[in-house]
Amino acid sequence: MTLFGESAPSGPVAAVGSVVGSDHVAAFRDNQDGCAARRGYGWSVVVVTDGCGSAPRSEIGAKLGAVFLARAAVARLARLTPRAACDAIHGDLVSSLAAAARALGGGAARARDVLADAFLFSWLCAAVGPTRAVVLGQGDGAFAVDGEVTQLDPGPANAPSYAAYALTSGDLARPVLHVDRPAVRVASLVVATDGAAGLLGRGRPLGDLVASGRLAKNPSLLVKALRVAQRGGGARDDATAGAIVRGAP
């Protein structure tokens, strides 16, 4: 279980959390999701990642990828427009995956195997900066803007396009800039892996938590809500979420 909570005196509050799905617990499988949060240059960023279920070690890439993406998002969004930042983050990620795969595989010949085993994951990022609020990512999952939920299509045969495919199959799919709005018009952003998608929105555990304003006062409530869902059977798959909410003025 993972938790992060941070707030500036007058800025937004960011929280991320992750629990292993009940089906994975029963099968003695690791949590294949990742999450991270980061703040810098006036931006608050949360990232969730979802490792490919059929890959033997996708939890490695998902967890490392979340940390890398949160750092890259802060750096790129601080200097570029959201659309340009979206493409730059993807480029940074692909370059880093290539370098990691070569290093772990002992050279280019084994790099493809390393990518397929450990670095296939989808990702979603929510970020709030001085003037813009954005959601971007590649693959499936869900996000909510002020309680309005968008469920993302995983693609044909439930097989999202992963960033690593740019290196293994020449897939040129790019991340999508799902949301780009004035920051002053957004009270909350939530991103979730598909295992937590059903918890978003009005009348749902995470949706109601965010809407109540309690998360802004106590970021630890996010992971507690995920834990309750896991115990109640509402999180059979690994469930991971990140939220940015407006704190007290």
CB 45 within 8 A of CB 125: yes
CB 210 within 8 A of CB 147: yes
pLDDT value at residue 62: 97
- Identify the sign of the CA torsion 227, 229, 233, 239: negative
Which of these CATH numbers, 3.40.50.2000, 3.30.70.1450, 3.60.40.10, 1.10.10.60, describes 2-245? 3.60.40.10
Token pair listed for 208 = 């109601």
pLDDT value at residue 10: 57
Tens of pLDDT along the chain (249 residues) come to 444 444 444 579 999 999 998 777 776 778 999 999 999 999 999 999 999 988 989 999 999 999 999 999 999 999 999 999 999 999 999 999 999 999 999 888 899 999 999 999 999 999 999 999 999 999 999 999 999 999 999 888 777 889 999 999 888 889 999 999 999 999 999 999 999 999 999 999 999 999 999 999 999 999 999 999 888 877 778 999 999 998 654
pLDDT value at residue 8: 44
Largest CA distance in the chain: 55
CB 16 within 8 A of CB 36: yes
Segments making up each domain of the chain, as ranges:
2-245
Please state, in angstroms and rounded to a whole number, the distance separating the CA atoms of residues 29 and 23.
Answer: 8
DSSP 187: S
For 1, other C-beta atoms within 10 Å of its C-beta total 12
Token pair listed for 111 = 């790099």
Please state, in angstroms and rounded to a whole number, the distance separating the CA atoms of residues 238 and 30.
Answer: 9
DSSP string, 69-95: HHHHHHHHHTTS-HHHHHHHHHHHHHH
